[in-house]
Chain A
Amino acid sequence: MSRLQSRFAELKQQNRAALVTFVTAGDPNYDASLAILKGLPAAGADVIELGMPFTDPMADGPAIQLANIRALAAKQNLAKTLQMVREFREGEQDTPLVLMGYFNPIHKYGVERFISEAKESGVDGLIVVDLPPEHNVDLCDPAQAAGLDFIRLTTPTTDDARLPKVLNGSSGFVYYVSVAGVTGAGAATLEHVEQAVARLRRHTELPISIGFGIRTPEHAATIARLADGVVVGSALIDQIAHAEDSEQAVQGVLSLCRDLADGVRNARL
């Protein structure tokens, strides 16, 4: 059983949703970012998404764009991101970690080399925003063959006709992007999320995590009643953007993470 499978199974038994947190690797710098990463499990993150910085994050809103810029300015690259995962894994064996980003840095690094190093460093899965199922051969197929989960984004525009194509080859969990828009954009209505989850359940057994526009513990709790996972990214990253120094950035992210975890853990009580 993969770490993602075990984690979602375990939480299902506890009758609660997963808190899935997103931060960008190397934001605001390598050391602070590693401190955040290492602190997240204790702060209540059940699954960690770690962004691989890219100069042109086309599907991201202003918060994550700036995170990418900060990380790149601090000289983050893919090799360092993998190193960060290795250091994280030294003390943490249970929390699944998923790398998320865009294809070009992986393409440049070399797909084979990337897959083997990701696997070796303790990465559990990949989310690559600009690789739809039409391009499974580029990365999804070889990554899954090597035992990495490939998590797909489904969106409000993914209709019933297309869903099987998107879900086929998905593993780990399904990430439902609840609004058509960039990351950090306005939130979907509850009714929309309810219907979307019901529709996805008809097509897949995989756990369903909901993201985009979730910022507060209250909002996270509401979503946690409907879905198997709640993804929070931009709100955490704003803590880094507004921090005066690295220490404040680390504390800001972990403190919000604890609040969000309380929201998610108490949602179904």
Chain B
Amino acid sequence: MTSLCSGPDANGLFGSFGGQYVAETLMPLIHDLAAEYEKAKLDPEFAKELAYFQRDYVGRPSPLYFAERLTEHCGGAKIYLKREELNHTGAHKINNCIGQILLARRMGKKRIIAETGAGMHGVATATVAARFGLDCVIYMGTTDIERQQANVFRMKLLGATVIPVVAGTGTLKDAMNEALRDWVTNVDSTFYLIGTVAGPHPYPAMVRDFQAVIGKETREQMQTQEGRLPDSLVACIGGGSNAMGLFHPFLDDKDVQIVGVEAAGYGIDTGKHAASLNGGVPGVLHGNRTFLLQDDDGQIIDAHSISAGLDYPGIGPEHAWLYDIGRVEYTSVTDQEALDAFHKCCRLEGIIPALESAHALAEVFKRAPTLPKEHLMVVNLSGRGDKDMQTVMHHMGELENQA
């Protein structure tokens, strides 16, 4: 059997998904980036440097924590949390940022640009740019700036320039358009640090590789703690980087059930959601062919999710492929289900999860009670919820007003 881990092919394709659908101006740049990344992968010095920063700067490995109270509450599967929220900057995003900034430095780039939705990738990018003394510009939609003010302030503290993007609905998709426009304009000086497993090749593969540390650690930790592999993995998906990081090292383990959780917003049938696989069709956007939320004319529809980090109308092409071949099961969870899971996790485990991660937890609350006690389930707790206080407070306020 051929490995499911060997993609993408030489053209950056996972099956019929992925590719390099960008303007000609950017083609030479992404070819350079791909070549440099291939070299770096083979360079022991790069690996050593990456390992050093992962350990001493990011704080890896992140614990694989047995969530005893969640387990008791569900009364079924044994639930483990992969504690990515304990990383420096509070989410998995920094795993990728550290990798890419080392690459940017190798390439002699002096200016870093990035898009951000919830602001976690923006904060992680601003963090590594500060650490390496590089200029940093973050594009962020005005809607997201409104709901993630604390992260905007953090980015500014770290020395980044935050540029508000008013186009579209002022969310992640629009920020990505604007970052691409910046890159096409500043081709010589600038490194575009994409935050998820999307965009033109080599980004989906490269970001996945940097995030795969999550899954690799999980394998080892589960072996140590339980003497075997987990039975299932659960992670939330916007672009899909935390999920791909956890899933990828397990793709060839047929007995490991893998579940990705999309954001169903108000419900997929309402049309107000961010579930590209469950509610979209294939198309081409932001450099790759993947599942997209779009209308009958091929115009992109704005996503909706209570979680800014999942509020994106596309999904990484490798997820599109895994969906297509049926290796990964993709489900969805509504805003309300995610909020309920958020509150339960706070009360039961003393952990305030990001609203993104709360989507994965909501799926666990549905699934774990139906499973036997010996079933080992790993949930990626991809980020912490400090950034979401405003959103949650706002929502609780609305509930009180209704009462």
Whether the Cβ atoms of B284 and A56 lie closer than 8 Å is: no
Can you identify 5 A-B contacts, CB atoms within 8 angstroms?
A: A58-B180, A107-B282, A109-B297, A162-B27, A180-B187
Give residues 344-391 of B contacting A (CB, 8 Å).
Answer: none
Whether the Cβ atoms of B283 and A59 lie closer than 8 Å is: no
Whether the Cβ atoms of A132 and B22 lie closer than 8 Å is: yes
Binds B, one of A148-156, A236-244, A250-258: A148-156
Give residues 126-168 of A contacting B (CB, 8 Å).
Answer: 129-132, 134-135, 152-159, 162, 166
Q: Mark B154-196, 1 if CB is under 8 A from A, else 0.
A: 0000000000000110000100010011001111000000000
State whether A58 and B185 are in contact (beta carbons under 8 Å apart), knowing that A108-B296, A153-B23, A158-B24 are contacts in the complex.
no
Q: For residue A106, which residues in chain B have a CB less than 8 angstroms away from its CB?
A: 298
- A169 CB-CB contact with B under 8 Å: no
* Contacting residue for B299 out of A65, A105, A130, A181, CB 8 A: A105
Q: For residue A180, which residues in chain B have a CB less than 8 angstroms away from its CB?
A: 25, 184-187
State whether A130 and B287 are in contact (beta carbons under 8 Å apart), knowing that A56-B300, A58-B177, A166-B24 are contacts in the complex.
yes
- A173 CB-CB contact with B under 8 Å: no
* Contacting residue for B184 out of A55, A59, A132, A134, CB 8 A: A59
Q: For residue B25, which residues in chain A have a CB less than 8 angstroms away from its CB?
A: 59, 153, 155-157, 177, 180-181
Q: For residue B184, which residues in chain A have a CB less than 8 angstroms away from its CB?
A: 59, 180-182
| Beta-carbon nearest neighbor of A60 in chain B | B181
Whether the Cβ atoms of B24 and A155 lie closer than 8 Å is: yes
State whether A154 and B24 are in contact (beta carbons under 8 Å apart), knowing that A105-B299, A107-B298 are contacts in the complex.
yes
- A171 CB-CB contact with B under 8 Å: no
| Beta-carbon nearest neighbor of A165 in chain B | B27
Give residues 77-136 of B contacting A (CB, 8 Å).
Answer: none
Total interface residues in chain B, CB < 8 Å: 37
Q: For residue A102, which residues in chain B have a CB less than 8 angstroms away from its CB?
A: 284
Q: Mark A60-99, 1 if CB is under 8 A from B, else 0.
A: 1100010000001000011000000000000000000000
- A103 CB-CB contact with B under 8 Å: yes
| Beta-carbon nearest neighbor of B283 in chain A | A104
* Contacting residue for A182 out of B181, B282, B300, CB 8 A: B181
| Beta-carbon nearest neighbor of A102 in chain B | B284
Whether the Cβ atoms of A78 and B21 lie closer than 8 Å is: no
Whether the Cβ atoms of B177 and A108 lie closer than 8 Å is: no
Distance between Cα atoms of A156 and B186 in the complex (Å) = 12
Q: For residue A130, which residues in chain B have a CB less than 8 angstroms away from its CB?
A: 21-23, 284, 287
- B227 CB-CB contact with A under 8 Å: no
Whether the Cβ atoms of B28 and A158 lie closer than 8 Å is: yes
A167 CB to nearest B CB, Å: 11
Whether the Cβ atoms of B28 and A108 lie closer than 8 Å is: no
Q: Which residues of A contact B (CB under 8 A)?
A: 53-61, 65, 72, 77-78, 102-109, 129-132, 134-135, 152-159, 162, 166, 177, 180-182, 185
Distance between Cα atoms of A135 and B27 in the complex (Å) = 12
Q: For residue B24, which residues in chain A have a CB less than 8 angstroms away from its CB?
A: 132, 152-155, 157-158, 166, 177
Question: Which 3 A-B residue pairs are closest in the complex by CB-CB distance?
Answer: A108-B298, A105-B298, A77-B297
Q: Which residues of B contact A (CB under 8 A)?
A: 11, 19-29, 167-168, 173, 177, 180-181, 184-187, 281-287, 289, 292, 294, 296-300
Q: For residue B181, which residues in chain A have a CB less than 8 angstroms away from its CB?
A: 58-61, 182
Q: For residue B11, which residues in chain A have a CB less than 8 angstroms away from its CB?
A: 134
Whether the Cβ atoms of B298 and A78 lie closer than 8 Å is: yes
State whether A104 and B292 are in contact (beta carbons under 8 Å apart), knowing that A129-B23, A134-B19, A153-B23 are contacts in the complex.
yes
Whether the Cβ atoms of A103 and B284 lie closer than 8 Å is: yes
* Contacting residue for B20 out of A104, A134, A153, CB 8 A: A134
Distance between Cα atoms of A185 and B284 in the complex (Å) = 25
B301 CB to nearest A CB, Å: 8
Whether the Cβ atoms of B29 and A157 lie closer than 8 Å is: yes
Q: A65-B167, A180-B187 are in contact. List 7 more A-B contacts (CB 8 A).
A: A55-B168, A56-B173, A58-B177, A59-B25, A105-B299, A153-B24, A162-B28
| Beta-carbon nearest neighbor of B178 in chain A | A58
Distance between Cα atoms of A95 and B283 in the complex (Å) = 32
Whether the Cβ atoms of B298 and A135 lie closer than 8 Å is: no
Whether the Cβ atoms of B187 and A105 lie closer than 8 Å is: no
Distance between Cα atoms of A72 and B295 in the complex (Å) = 12
Distance between Cα atoms of A177 and B184 in the complex (Å) = 11
Q: For residue A53, which residues in chain B have a CB less than 8 angstroms away from its CB?
A: 299
Q: For residue A166, which residues in chain B have a CB less than 8 angstroms away from its CB?
A: 24
A225 CB to nearest B CB, Å: 25
B72 CB to nearest A CB, Å: 47
A140 CB to nearest B CB, Å: 13
Distance between Cα atoms of A153 and B27 in the complex (Å) = 11
Q: For residue A158, which residues in chain B have a CB less than 8 angstroms away from its CB?
A: 24, 27-28
Whether the Cβ atoms of A104 and B298 lie closer than 8 Å is: yes
Distance between Cα atoms of A159 and B281 in the complex (Å) = 36
| Beta-carbon nearest neighbor of A186 in chain B | B185
Q: For residue A78, which residues in chain B have a CB less than 8 angstroms away from its CB?
A: 297-298
Whether the Cβ atoms of B284 and A104 lie closer than 8 Å is: yes
| Beta-carbon nearest neighbor of A77 in chain B | B297
| Beta-carbon nearest neighbor of A153 in chain B | B24
Whether the Cβ atoms of B20 and A56 lie closer than 8 Å is: no
Distance between Cα atoms of A157 and B177 in the complex (Å) = 20
Q: For residue A60, which residues in chain B have a CB less than 8 angstroms away from its CB?
A: 181
Whether the Cβ atoms of A109 and B298 lie closer than 8 Å is: yes
Distance between Cα atoms of A53 and B187 in the complex (Å) = 26
